[in-house]
Amino acid sequence: MRNITISLVAVLLLAGCGVQIPGSQGNDQPRIKADKAAVRQYWNQVRPILNDTARDVAGVADVNVKVKGGNVSVGINPNAIQQAQRETQQGLKELKQIQPPPGLGQTHRRLIKAYTQAILALNNFIAAVQSGNPGQIASSVRNDLPKIQNLLNEIQTVRQQLQQASN
């Protein structure tokens, strides 16, 4: 039981500190092959979606860890997780309504995939937190938090690529 708690704390601390969790970022970055006007138009469409999602998903890593007398307690804000879930679902719905211009299809599909995986991970994470079971929470942190972090990584990557391609 103590090993699970310590593992959970280590993973949560790493996630909360912005440290990259292994396996949470792919190496196959899509290249943008659209003209500047198309990139600007697409960027204007997705920017508010990405910004809203990133703001709320980043709140999931807002973890309160306390060590007192050899006991470790982990506080996770369930409201932040549920808000991130709602915002991610809304963002996915909005992204699916956008028709990317030629040359941005791969980037768009990559975003949709990251959003879809993050929603499943957030659902699992919420269930684990609501269960109150430390083992289930630790398992979810280990398996689901990297998928949630991947969404933030993809958002950041797409932001950078679109900003560079539109200049």
pLDDT digits (tens, 9 = 90+) for 24-77: 344 456 567 778 888 999 999 999 999 999 999 987 755 554 445 644 445 667
- At 118, is the pLDDT very low, low, confident or very high (cuts 50, 70, 90)? very high
- At 160, is the pLDDT very low, low, confident or very high (cuts 50, 70, 90)? very high
- At 6, is the pLDDT very low, low, confident or very high (cuts 50, 70, 90)? very low
Question: Does 7 fall in a domain?
Answer: no
Question: Does 27 fall in a domain?
Answer: no
pLDDT score of 88: 96
Question: Does 5 fall in a domain?
Answer: no
Structural domain for 123, as ranges:
34-62+77-166
Q: How far is CA 113 from CA 3, 83, 88, 117, 155, in A?
A: 33, 20, 12, 6, 12
Mean pLDDT of 2-16: 43
Question: Does 22 fall in a domain?
Answer: no
Question: Does 97 fall in a domain?
Answer: yes
Question: Does 25 fall in a domain?
Answer: no
C-beta separation of 74 from 65 below 8 A: yes
Question: Does 41 fall in a domain?
Answer: yes
Model confidence at 11: pLDDT above 60: no
Mean pLDDT of 90-108: 95
Model confidence at 97: pLDDT above 60: yes
| CATH number of 93's domain | 1.20.120
Mean pLDDT of 135-164: 88
* Torsions phi, psi for 63 (to 5 deg): -115, 140
C-beta separation of 59 from 77 below 8 A: yes
pLDDT score of 27: 47
- Higher-confidence position of 69 and 154: 154
Q: Is 76 helix (H, G, I), strand (E, B) or coil?
A: strand
Count of domains observed in the chain: 1
Question: Does 137 fall in a domain?
Answer: yes
Model confidence at 125: pLDDT above 70: yes
pLDDT score of 76: 66
Mean pLDDT of 94-102: 95
Mean residue pLDDT of the chain comes to 78
